[in-house]
Structure 1
């Protein structure tokens, strides 16, 4: 049995104890609340007391389910009122008692089988049952079948316990809808901010890079027009030619960072290979994808790799960057590791823009960059 299975059985056993506690609470509440709930003020006080007790029991059950794993389970991020907690406690205690009965049957069956085997090993008949081949086959098959039924019962009770918690303690459909609307509004605002930030970056690249080269080119051409010496004219034209080539390279660089044209024609693998060739550090790419993702997913994955490689080269002092792309279920996982000194700021303009870009596609973005390194950037993008 795996560790998760052991935790589930332990949680089920603990759930039997909490079921007894819940039953006692309900009986006590039903018995004493009418006695003390005299008048409107008394009824309100009794209701608050009962709801508070139910809330504490529900929180105890939530912690038990989180220990069993397989969440998320209701907690601070999933608030629920006292009425819902009371309804959950009233519906949950029979499930806990059922789980205890299943575990008791398992214990009784295991004990009976152990006593039977122990008696046969000592060459004693257990309750007059001799260990003949037919008896051995019969008891073996019966034991396997009963064990299978008992384990199925445990799995079923655990699943029912989890479903009950999700249904009665988890967020309601209205809350889920409100949360989804808030997420969409946040991601929309984030992508607008990211687009504006990208536009500012392109403007800065054009102003600080390409514009300066064009100004220098214009000055060289002006000097060449005013020149009288053929030797000086040739030298100025040669410098102007070099500046023109550098300006073309800068323009291509800006256009490539804005959107790589090769991504549409060649695909993500070739675009990332170009990134590795142009990078200032060694970049190793492990591309484990069959087929091409959707264009929006390809674009997001490309920019995640570009920004991570650029940060590793400029700010982390890395010597090696490893890029891995693979499918994990319905998600495309992009992982970028570097051996730099770490300390990347997730609130920085580049990384925050990436996080907003990934969130706009209903993806998940994670940065792990402790001081001293290494740095790991992980983006999970839905591709189905």
Structure 2
């Protein structure tokens, strides 16, 4: 462990020394860049050079001081950082200068002791202890100075890296505006889907039922009429089943009664393909998150049944802290397009809930649809 600490201390010291050397170059650059940036046509070149210097400092901090910083910063913010950092680097250069002066003094003192020369004019007995005490104090101050410069370097990098508070607020407003648009679009998609299910399913069943009843009423043969009525009765059962399926797809009542796990169990039972469900939830999450998670699983299972030529589907649900993760995996042919109507609708629905939606579907499979949702 001491070897590791000494190695790290040596690395940090080397990084501070490099920062002390670059501080003078950066100070000159900041002065020139501030003057040249008055000319609008020259700002592009100035900001390119500013970002180059800022990235050079980020590399030094990451490599020597173990300080990871963000590259999400503006040009003027980078220039202000270089100006502040050149001052801190100058402090570091002063500390190194004092260390050099102390080492030179120590070397001269040792030379005087070895050659028998007097340390002072009177060569008093307390000269050696006094010099040792003074040297120990200077070493302590030098070490503390380097530690302080390193702390300032880290604090400056943390303060200037990344967007400002106002920029973060503006981005949040933009994200909320986009999220609101996603909610509206997700609702419209849901309405279109319900209309399509009713038109292509229930409505067609009812039209067929009406035609069968009309034919039965016009039939003159009792046996023929009875056969048509039996078909109409069967069509009625199919229409009812279709209506139940549509109602289930609109909102499964099992979500309210038993939660996400119960609703997914019912989804697995209704699937025409074998579905393995792994739901590791020790408690229910908020209803809004359960609804989004359920519809992600439902739509992904429907897409897998229709398009993937899969033989089995796996649904995995887990929670880590305040994040709920839902993964749907099928062993189909892959090649699912995230921009398709079904998956893009899911992406909008998840995005409206401030979640993250991903699709991994290489050719040949498997296809993995994953949603990570914040939950209360």
Which TM-score band (shorter chain)?
A: 0.7 to 0.9
Task: Using the TM superposition, give the Cα deviation of residue 53 of structure 1 relative to its aligned residue in structure 2, in angstroms.
Answer: 3.9
Instruction: State the Cα distance separating 1:164 from its structure 2 match.
Output: 3.2
Q: Determine the structure 2 residue equivalent to 1:54.
A: 50
CA contact (8 A) 2:254 2:263 kept: yes
Q: 1: CA distance between counterparts of 2:47 and 2:27?
A: 14
Per the alignment, residue 193 of structure 1 pairs with: 185
Say whether the 8 Å CA contact 1:368–1:376 is kept in structure 2: yes
- Map of 1:80 onto structure 2: 74
Closer/same/farther in 2, CA of residues 96 and 382 from structure 1, 3 Å limit: farther
TM-score by length of 1: 0.72
- CA separation in 2, counterparts of 1:9 and 1:287? 48
- Offset at residue 95 of structure 1 (A): 7.5
> 1:16–1:97: 8 Å Cα contact kept in structure 2?
no
Question: What is the match of residue 354 of structure 2?
Answer: 362
Partner Cα distance (1:17, 1:281) in 2: 66
Answering whether residue 258 of structure 2 is matched by residue 266 of structure 1, we say yes
For each residue in 1:234-268, what CA deviation from the matched residue of structure 2 results, as whole angstroms up to 9, or x when unmatched? 21111110000000001111111111111111211
Q: Distance in 1 between matches of 2:14 and 2:340?
A: 46
Partner of residue 129, structure 2: none
Q: Which residues of 2 match residues 59-70 of structure 1 at below 5 A?
A: 59-62=55-58
Counterparts in 2 of 1:307 and 1:43: CA distance versus 1, 3 Å: closer
For residues 271-298 of structure 1, what are the alpha-carbon distances to aligned partners after superposition, in whole Å with 9 as ceiling and x for unaligned?
1011111112211111111111100000
Aligned mates of 1:9, 1:374 — CA distance in 2: 48
Q: TM-score, normalised by structure 2?
A: 0.73
Whole-Å Cα distance in 1 between the matches of residues 155 and 322 of structure 2?
Answer: 24
Does the 8 Å CA contact 1:287/1:326 hold for their aligned counterparts?
A: yes
- Please state whether the residue corresponding to 1:326 is helix, strand or coil: strand
Q: Determine if the alignment matches structure 1 residue 286 to structure 2 residue 282.
A: no
In the alignment, the residues of structure 2 paired with residue 189 and residue 247 of structure 1 have an alpha-carbon distance, to the nearest angstrom, of 35
Judging changes above 3 Å, is the alpha-carbon distance between structure 1 residues 161 and 33 closer, same or farther for their aligned structure 2 residues? Answer: closer
In the alignment, is residue 311 of structure 1 matched against residue 307 of structure 2? no
Q: Secondary structure at 2:365's aligned position in 1?
A: coil
SS of residue matched to 1:291: coil
Whether the 8 Å contact between 2:264 and 2:294 is mirrored in structure 1 is yes
Q: Which position in structure 1 is the counterpart of 2:318?
A: 326
Counterpart of 1:107 in structure 2 is: none
Secondary structure in 2 matching 1:298: helix
Q: Which runs of 5+ in 2 are unaligned?
A: 96-142
State the distance in 2 between where 1:349 and 1:296 align.
22
Deviation for aligned residue 1:90: 3.6
What runs of 5+ residues in structure 1 fail to find an aligned partner? 102-148
Matches within 5 A, 1:19-30: 19-29=19-29
Matched-pair contact (CA < 8 Å) for 2:15–2:61: no
Aligned CA-pair RMSD: 3.9
- SS for the counterpart of 1:197 is helix
